[in-house]
Amino acid sequence: MSLERILKRAAHEITDGQTINLGIGVPTMLVNYLPADRDVMIHSENGVLGAGRKASVATADPALIDAGGSYITTRPGGAFFDSAVSFAMIRRAKLDMSVMGAFEVDQEGNLANWKIPGKFSPGIGGAMELAQKTKNILILCTHQDKHGNSKILKKCTLPLTAEKCVSRIITDMAVMDVTKDGLVLKEIAEGLTIEQVVQATDADLILGEEVRSF
């Protein structure tokens, strides 16, 4: 499955000692792909530090949810606090990484992940501040939408969440880094060719010195 491929690759980005935020949607699934001994503190903007794997129906505590409303577990050393403290942590740049989804992301690192004109949206929420204040933004998304259109663009067309904030993009087809020179292709999914990835991408891709498979 394409999402499983994305999540398995993304798990390698998370290292011991990090404090990270997992955005609503695909990113919240990442916790289930981390090794059990990976020593990370997962932050949720509704007031949790130290979130663990998703809780089963049998073990769910109605008081323990993540920002997406899913029941969660917590790890030893976890803490709970109000939204003011949670957002103070974000605004003071205390997070090492935020993992987010995207409707569109472009070669300048601009991110659009909260609004499709004409469709209902509950609002931009905490995504705007996470994208602006976190030092490392990792985007997880499919390379193309359901119509086969590239989500990796020369320039975003949807309302932006934040400008020039993205560090790395992982899709089901490729791993790409946003640099001052443009979007650098670092890895391609096993079974694909560089030419296939380039053809599926609207953005201009710069080939890294060594493009590996994942």
104-136 as b/e, with b when 16 or more CB fall inside 10 Å? bbbbbbbbbbbbeeeeeeeebebbbbbbebbeb
Q: What's at 209, amino acid-wise? A: E
DSSP SS3 for 210: strand
Q: If we measure between CA atoms, which residue out of 153, 104, 113 comes closest to residue 131?
A: 113
Question: Has 190 been annotated as catalytic?
Answer: no
Residue from 45, 104, 108, 187 carrying the catalytic annotation: 45
Strands (E), the chain: 19-22, 41-44, 48-54, 72-80, 97-100, 104-106, 111-112, 137-140, 152-153, 168-170, 174-179, 182-188, 205-213
Decide: 113 and 153 in contact? Cβ < 8 Å: no
Q: What are phi and psi of 3, to 5 degrees?
A: -65, -40
Instruction: List residues with catalytic annotation.
Output: 45
